[in-house]
Structures are given as structure tokens and as C-alpha cells.
């Protein structure tokens, strides 16, 4: 069986590596073109490209997925199956090409959390469970017939980093199992049920700024769902009135606030920092002030004297 693999980030590398180790014929790997980044304008390779080069796999980096040259190249390869993980949306002329179809690995229990940021959004919404799904592509994004699903709990101390790693490893095993099922013809496809759709759009900057008028649980889940990257952030004002932005990486819900306390008010007790939300105090355990390294709050408090977080003046 000849396979063309489409992917870009580390999440996709685990599955590609599992397929290679299982002995499958990876006829080509398709990934994003190199990006120019940083002050030195260096070309940055995707994680999938790095892996492909290290293992001598044929590499394709099309600028346009509908280009005649790219489509022609895929036809010449004549692969039996395409696999897509964390890549751009494929045009129909591409995903309909292989005789055995094109399947995708998605980081959610579809039909919940269709979109670009399923892991982030599940945690930000306070879900207690998530998982992975393999499904065949069709016209509408993330809507095809499901091949296999596996679930995992979202623990209270999980963040997007820990869940990402868990799903990445689960996904690698499930991708190989899915290919085996396709190869053996033992598939049992299941249409996605109606009425359970939850969107998972891409994360933007406005999703990362903390609104301290929300409940402590909402802010806590926002921090978890964005940690360690891209990270929730807030403005912190010190005793001298100086404002800085800070990324917040870890929090814990503490006791209820007094109704006379303003949302975003900071209190420091026993080398710990608490911020008032719409209902409870939220302890800030680790953070990164702009221009500094990530640090524990007890170390941050050695050089800073915060009195307020955020820009709101609303009462709790």
C-alpha cells in the first residue's frame, strides 16, 4: 500500500513515525512551505519536513494545493491512500484522488469541536473528556464518516500541553490501526450524529486576554486551555502605577471574594498572589512578565508589587 502523508506540526510527526516504523510505504510527505521568521529572517522548516529529511522521505511543499504541477505530481505517485493530520484544507481534486480515500486524524470526539483549535477549546470550555477521531474527508470540513474514536479524561491539572501530548501519542497508535483496518477491509463507518456540533475556531489574541469579571473557573479554564502556548495574558499594575503585560501559565481557584472587592484587584499573602474574579479569588502560580523569563509567582513577588490586574473597574 502506497501512502501520501500530509502534515505540518509535531502532532503529525508522531503518526508519521508510527507508520514508518510499522513498515508502510510512505511514497511522499506533503508539508507547508518553509516560513521566514525572526529578526534574522531565517527559513523555518516544519516539524514534519525535518522528520522527512532525516528519514529520506520524498518531500513536497506546494504553495498552492490546486496547482496543476502539484496535482499532476500526486497523480504520478498513484498512491492508494492519503492521510491528513494538522494540515490545510485539501481541495476536492486532491482528497478524492486515491482509490482507498483520504482520512484525517482530528484532536476531538467529533462532531464536537470541529475546527482548528479543538484541544484548546475543549479545555477552555471546561470539558472533562476529549479524544481523537479518524474520519474520511468530504466536502464540509470535519464532517466525514467516522472510522474510529478513542477518548481520554481531561484531568483538573491538565493544560493544553499535557492533553496535546497525550492525544498525539494516542493518535499515532490509532492512525496505524486505521490503516490496518482499511488494508484488511474491516472498516465499520459511522456517520457523525446531528445536533452535537461545537465549533473550535482558531485562537486569536482576543481569546487570550483575561477578563477578570468572569468567574474564577472560567478564567482558570482559559489559562489551562492556552498554556503553555500561546498563553493567556493580562495587564498588571504595580504600586507605582506602572503597567506591564504578563502571560499567565498556571492558576488555582481559591476562596470567595468580598462583594466590596473590585474585579482584578490583587492581594499578596504568604508569598502568594491572588486576583479577584467575578466570584472567587484566583491564585496565580506561574507567569511571565513582558521581557522576562517564565517564573513562579513567589520569585516574581521579590521584584514586583502588583495591586491590580486587567483593565476593568467592575465590582464583584
- Asked if pLDDT for residue 11 goes beyond 70, the answer is yes
Report if pTM > 0.85.
yes
Select from 285, 286, 283, 284 the least CA-distant residue to 295.
286
pLDDT of residue 140: 85
pLDDT of residue 297: 97
For the residues 70-88, what does the mean pLDDT come to?
97
In the structure grid, which three cell numbers stand for residue 15, read together?
Answer: 503518526
For the residues 191-203, what does the mean pLDDT come to?
90
- Asked if pLDDT for residue 5 goes beyond 60, the answer is yes
CA distance 178 to 11: 17
- Asked if pLDDT for residue 315 goes beyond 60, the answer is no
Share of the chain above pLDDT 90, in %: 91
pLDDT of residue 313: 52
In order of 32, 51, 129, 230, 279, the CA distances from 201 in angstroms are 20, 28, 19, 15, 28
- Asked if pLDDT for residue 185 goes beyond 90, the answer is yes
- Asked if pLDDT for residue 312 goes beyond 60, the answer is no
Give CA angle at 227 (221, 228), nearest 5°: 175
In the structure grid, which three cell numbers stand for residue 119, read together?
Answer: 484541544
Which residues are 235's β-sheet partners? 245
- Asked if pLDDT for residue 311 goes beyond 90, the answer is no
- Asked if pLDDT for residue 143 goes beyond 60, the answer is yes
SS3 244: strand
- Asked if pLDDT for residue 260 goes beyond 80, the answer is yes
- Asked if pLDDT for residue 166 goes beyond 70, the answer is yes
CA distance 210 to 310: 7
What is the per-residue DSSP string for 148-180?
Answer: EEEEEE--TT--HHHHHHHHHHHHHHHHHHHHH
- Mean pLDDT of all residues in the chain? 95
Given a contact cutoff of 8 angstroms between Cβ atoms, the answer to whether 29 and 67 are in contact is: no
Contacts of 208 (CB under 8 A, 6+ apart): 226, 230, 231, 232, 233
Given a contact cutoff of 8 angstroms between Cβ atoms, the answer to whether 146 and 193 are in contact is: no
Contacts of 162 (CB under 8 A, 6+ apart): none
pLDDT of residue 89: 93
- Asked if pLDDT for residue 197 goes beyond 70, the answer is yes
Contacts of 185 (CB under 8 A, 6+ apart): none
The per-residue pLDDT for range 129-140, each reduced to its tens digit, is 999 999 999 988
Amino acid at each position: 500500500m502506497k501512502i501520501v502523508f500530509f502534515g505540518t506540526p509535531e502532532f503529525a510527526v508522531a503518526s508519521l513515525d508510527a507508520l514508518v516504523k510499522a513498515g508502510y510505504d510512505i511514497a511522499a510527505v506533503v508539508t507547508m512551505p518553509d516560513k521566514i521568521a525572526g529578526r534574522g529572517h531565517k527559513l523555518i522548516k516544519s516539524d514534519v519536513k525535518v522528520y522527512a529529511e532525516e528519514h529520506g522521505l520524498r518531500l513536497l511543499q506546494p504553495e498552492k494545493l490546486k496547482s496543476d504541477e502539484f496535482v499532476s505530481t500526486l497523480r504520478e505517485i498513484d498512491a492508494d491512500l492519503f492521510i491528513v493530520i494538522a494540515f490545510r484544507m485539501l481541495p476536492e481534486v486532491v482528497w478524492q484522488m486515491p482509490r482507498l480515500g483520504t482520512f484525517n486524524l482530528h484532536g476531538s470526539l467529533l462532531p464536537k469541536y470541529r475546527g482548528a483549535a479543538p484541544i484548546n477549546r475543549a479545555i477552555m470550555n471546561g470539558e472533562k473528556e476529549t479524544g481523537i477521531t479518524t474520519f474520511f474527508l468530504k466536502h464540509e470540513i470535519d464532517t466525514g464518516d467516522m472510522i474510529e474514536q478513542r477518548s481520554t479524561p481531561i484531568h483538573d491539572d491538565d493544560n493544553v500541553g499535557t492533553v496535546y501530548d497525550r492525544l498525539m501519542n494516542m493518535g499515532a497508535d490509532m492512525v496505524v490501526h486505521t490503516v490496518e483496518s482499511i488494508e484488511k477491509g474491516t472498516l465499520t463507518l459511522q456517520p457523525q450524529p446531528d445536533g452535537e456540533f461545537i465549533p473550535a475556531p482558531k485562537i486569536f489574541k482576543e481569546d487570550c486576554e483575561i477578563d477578570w469579571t468572569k468567574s474564577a473557573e472560567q478564567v482558570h479554564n482559559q489559562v489551562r486551555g492556552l498554556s503553555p502556548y500561546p498563553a493567556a495574558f493580562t495587564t498588571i499594575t504595580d504600586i507605582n502605577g506602572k503597567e506591564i503585560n504578563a502571560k499567565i501559565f498556571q492558576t488555582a481557584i481559591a476562596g470567595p471574594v468580598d462583594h466590596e472587592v473590585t474585579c482584578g484587584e490583587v492581594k499578596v499573602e504568604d508569598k502568594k498572589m491572588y486576583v479577584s474574579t467575578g466570584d472567587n479569588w484566583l491564585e496565580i502560580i506561574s507567569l511571565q512578565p513582558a521581557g522576562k523569563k517564565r517564573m513562579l509567582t513567589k520569585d516574581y513577588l521579590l521584584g514586583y508589587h502588583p495591586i491590580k490586574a486587567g483593565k476593568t473597574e467592575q465590582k464583584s
